Structure 1
């Protein structure tokens, strides 16, 4: 398998963390890519009309996207348990949506600074996007039992969202606002898959 790779894409990271948890990482080759929200990469568009990463190429040559599809494919391939069945499945998928939603908002806030020309930047827009992150963390903080003692696609998504916040927004103080989530992440982030770094050389 091959995946279009960017070292700072939280969604690529989500797929690779899932792959490592499933024991599949040695089977996934990293391919360089240059995704950008404005200057769209035509090479990516040729295999994914959205022009986004991650895009996974299966061993049979099929192109899969986005991270939700890729992670479920990897779980099915490994006969894993990242996607439970029964009622717990819906809770897990909803937690994944919360983590992905936090990432979507953080990425939009990031793009406001680095992709939009300065004369057109809108501070209130960025604040509103980051407020989605804060309200999501507040909801998790009052129900930390929804995070502890589990490794599934929901906790992976939330963990990757927190990784991205630390990477791009180190000064927003999310740990002070959400101490229960911070305590969970302090332990969860020590998992080998969460500590892993990836590069095109390694």
Structure 2
């Protein structure tokens, strides 16, 4: 019986805005394609730079989903905002200026950009507060920042699944509340920095 309930729950999509549905659809296309977690620094084309699709990190799942799903280039958006507002971004890496190759691939920079863009929503432990396509950040022990996309599927208890790359390639998993949450963001096209 529990298996039947779980299967039914996974088949019931969560409420999703049009943007949220597009983000989830584009993220899900990475599952089984992005197979490796590779955090190496690399020179990227600009704008629209990317690693080969079979590898990347958690932020690459977000970057690719927003590019394919919404036509939004986080590389360009983050780089332009950091050029204009460098002091508003974390100084965790000792940089004295923006770096278009890596800045958008760092979770703390995405958190700063999402907050500055007006995308921040309250972090809660209530599954009902998370919509498909939401972006959620957390800390993986001991202190690694991580970012995930809330799926349109949920587990038997009604908790949304997430799409992310936490080390084994892009996966859709039941991990929303596994690690301490540090941020919750909802893409709003009308508020996005151009």
TM-score (norm 1): 0.28
Q: Which has the higher contact order (CA 8 A, sep 6+)?
A: 2
Which is helix-richer, 1 or 2?
1
Higher percent of residues as strand: 2
Scaled by the length of structure 2, what TM-score is found? 0.29
